[in-house]
């Protein structure tokens, strides 16, 4: 299935390759990677020490919230030491974000108050705030921002309220989103419509129609959110649906996605799969990004 998706991509984009190559593509060198989904992917510090390849890291996930309980799931990574790793990454100029949501867990924001409560929890537990009696899992380390990675939730969810609450805090609190390439549901559309997200990582993997007709899909996203930097979400796992061979990324995809002014770079899922893929998928695409 993954190989078929790559073939479809090549066929669909073949006629536009020459035009795209003629365009003044702008490289940014930006690669955001997800970390925290595999216990044997190495530490957060290891990811940031990886030859300067990654320029931002999203920790995944805070996957329980919305009903008075909160749970951070780092797939068995010991929390002790993560705070020092966060500071180390930041000393290298690599911002670290906490991604809320994920593929499982028990989360949702059914009311405005639940959104306010989550914003407070994030601010005092992980970001720039302190409050007596509120534990900070990473000690005095302060994350750079929050990423919204929402796999389930209906039109009644209040993520737009969460985004606005977090945006009230002074800079440099930063907000990003990692939506599916397929048309987002109502709650995600309202979330992104707040225009407070500096980056949007659009997940093109797992969606054959988006990958096969990548130029149309990409142009829709970049046109819809001109005030945000749009990142192309790729998977580093060759077993995932719509995995793109490195040659296809270089010859076809990059000339297409780098044309809009708000092209931002690449988001990669994830650190573990990047390590497992030969000599690191990210190392090969870094110079083209």
| Residues carrying an active site annotation | 151
Determine the number of helices (DSSP H) and then strands (DSSP E) in the chain. Answer: 13, 10
CA 85 distance to own-chain centroid: 19
Cis ω before 281 (30° cut-off from 0): no
* Contact by Cβ (8 Å): 146, 100: yes
d(CA 242, CA 240): 6
**DSSP per position, 23-65:** S-------EEEEESS-TTS--HHHHHTSTT--SEEEEEEEEEE
Helices 112-125 and 159-167 cross at an angle (nearest 10°) of 40
d(CA 80, CA 262): 38
Total residues belonging to the chain: 289
d(CA 4, CA 105): 32
């Amino acid at each position: 299935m993954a190989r078929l998706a790559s073939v479809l991509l090549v066929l669909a984009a073949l006629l536009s390759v020459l035009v795209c190559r003629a365009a003044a593509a702008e490289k940014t060198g930006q690669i955001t990677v997800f970390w925290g989904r595999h216990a044997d992917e190495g530490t957060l510090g290891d990811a940031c020490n990886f030859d300067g390849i990654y320029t931002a890291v999203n920790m995944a996930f805070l996957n329980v919230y919305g009903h008075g309980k909160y749970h951070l799931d780092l797939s068995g990574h010991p929390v002790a030491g993560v705070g020092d790793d966060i500071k180390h990454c930041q000393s290298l100029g690599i911002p670290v974000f906490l991604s809320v949501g994920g593929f499982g867990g028990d989360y949702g924001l059914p009311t405005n108050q639940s959104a306010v409560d989550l914003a407070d929890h994030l601010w005092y537990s992980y970001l720039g705030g302190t409050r007596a009696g509120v534990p900070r899992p990473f000690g005095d380390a302060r994350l750079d921002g929050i990423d919204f990675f929402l796999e389930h939730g209906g039109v009644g969810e209040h993520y737009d309220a969460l985004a606005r609450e977090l945006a009230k805090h002074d800079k440099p609190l930063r907000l990003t989103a990692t939506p599916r390439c397929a048309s987002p549901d109502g709650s995600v559309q309202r979330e992104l419509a707040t225009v407070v997200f500096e980056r949007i990582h659009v997940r093109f993997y797992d969606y054959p129609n988006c990958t096969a007709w990548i130029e149309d899909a990409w142009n829709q996203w970049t046109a819809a959110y001109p005030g945000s930097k749009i990142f192309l979400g790729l998977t580093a796992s060759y077993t995932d649906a719509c995995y793109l061979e490195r040659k296809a990324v270089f010859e076809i995809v990059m000339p297409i996605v780098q044309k809009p002014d708000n092209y931002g770079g690449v988001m990669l899922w994830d650190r573990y799969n990047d390590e497992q893929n030969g000599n690191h998928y990210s190392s090969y695409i870094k110079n083209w990004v």
